[in-house]
Structure 1
């Protein structure tokens, strides 16, 4: 017997199609239902087979194409548009500084807080970011601790 989807199910699906990495809490706030409801509905949609997988959407423009051996793996990845079952060794991702927007050439300077990571080209950009967004970072840390 077919399962009828209601407005809540459809809203959850639309939200996940926009960004499959959203948390149940973020979805619940977006569609104005409780977090346990979103979790239960999501599990039901998985159990009935409607949601088969959550797969990454890879931005190929961010891939560093300089290495020849990576080039072959990259071509294989492009062929597989929907299936990402390829193990790619040595793949490099081009990073932009989260403060100045410039390229990150060496090992990035990382700022971790709550469930977030921000990447910077230098310690000055990291320090400037912390200074500019310090209040927001602290609020996110407090919210994370409360959960």
Structure 2
């Protein structure tokens, strides 16, 4: 079962779609939640794989003719690769794959949080196995995170 995003998640995604340069503070004022909430939710959306990147929208009318031709070629290439698209976000659900076994996550995912990261699993056994396999790396990341 896909994970249902709540109104706050949807509002953050919509805000970033309007202007990906907005700060967490600007988004928090716009949607009337705290800045740490926006930051945490953004990181969760990135960790879930819903937000892959924040990309610039280029105004080609500002580019000179020679450069514009090169941009047009690049844009056509991106369109063929389906790299640019708009997403309808109302009632958005995200399909998650288990970080350990790669299988689909049905129902509520089992979550492992560490050092500002979140990893999602289909079952507690996969979560435990992931911790066993990557325990050293997880501890190192926790130590680095504490030093910030």
TM-score computed with the length of structure 1 as normaliser = 0.50
Q: Rg larger in 1 or in 2? A: 1
TM-score w.r.t. length of structure 2: 0.49
Ranked by relative contact order (alpha carbons within 8 Å, sequence separation 6 or more), the top structure is: 2
